[in-house]
Amino acid sequence: MKTIPQAVLDELNSPFDITDEQVNFFRENGYIKIANVLSKEVIAAMDEIISEEVTRLNTQHLAMKDRDTYGKAFLQIMNIWRNSEAVKQIVFSKRLGQIASDLLEVSGVRLYHDQALYKEPSGGHTPWHADQYYWPLASPKTVTAWIPLQETPLEFGPLEFSASSFKLTDGRDKAISDESQELLDQLLKNSGFRHSVAPFSLGEVSFHTGWLYHRAGPNLTDKMRKVMTMIYMDKDMTLKAPENKNQQADWDTWCPGVQVGALVDSPLNPVIYAAV
């Protein structure tokens, strides 16, 4: 079993200063990219540990030409922390949880789930979508940390954001699909939201809210684009009645045993960070 060097654990669990300016930017735009959140040593350890688990747990073996748009977008492995103690130590990082909590302006965050998103060489685009379409969560106080495990130039397909588009309620009934891409592309352009896309440097991490529309381009290289994500929610989040079959599936999978209206505190949703 892979073990994490103590210096890496120390960094993952040490504080990281977030400024008022960064909180204000996130509040207005629904996303932020923050440089130097993690050192190259931490990223290297994460890459080794998570990539090994992605290889072991991956069940996608169809040729790229035989997949649908979603399948071409990435290999998606979820809740890896349940399969690996080393990954659990990464996912339970207090540094990342503290940043999420500070940006959401709440007193602490729980884990919704983790997921690795590995875009293969020649992997397709990820269509415009808002994550919270899939989540049976009663509040918009949710955020995803998107952590590239390598420098991510434009040809790798970095995450792109439609700034402030969490304010748009149209299109919230769309799953990730060719339909969502076409409809939302026009809707976002017509609504005048600023489109933001830029490379990610090593150690740079983005955070985006659950209702922010975002996408990613194709991987035009011959290398894997490796990304780890953690989805956080306000530690006081409650469950809402599912509004679509995807939210029902998420309730069953990620919040087992939680009742509608109750705190989302199943064994799969531990508190990652709480302010003292």
Residue-range domain boundaries for the chain: 6-267
Mean pLDDT of the 22-26 span: 98
Checking if the pLDDT of 204 tops 60, the result is yes
Torsion sign over Cα 64, 124, 91, 82: negative
Distance of CA 90 to the CA centre of its chain: 14
Helix pair 94-104, 20-29: axis angle to 10 deg: 70
94: part of which helix (H) or strand (E)? helix 94-104
Q: Three-state DSSP class for 60?
A: coil
Buried b (16+ CB within 10 A) or exposed e, 249-258: ebbeebbeeb
Do the bridges between strand 108-119 and strand 142-148 make them parallel or antiparallel, or are there none, so unpaired? unpaired
pLDDT, one tens digit per residue, over 81-99 is 999 999 999 999 999 999 9
Q: Three-state DSSP class for 141?
A: coil
Checking if the pLDDT of 19 tops 80, the result is yes
Mean pLDDT of the 262-268 span: 98
Distance CA 164, CA 27 (A): 9
Distance CA 197, CA 174 (A): 22
Determine the pLDDT at residue 73.
57
Higher pLDDT, 124 or 72: 124
Q: Which of 272, 269, 274 is nearest to 137 (CA)?
A: 269
Q: Which CATH number fits domain 6-267: 2.60.40.4070, 3.40.50.300, 2.60.120.620, 1.20.1260.10?
A: 2.60.120.620
Checking if the pLDDT of 64 tops 60, the result is no
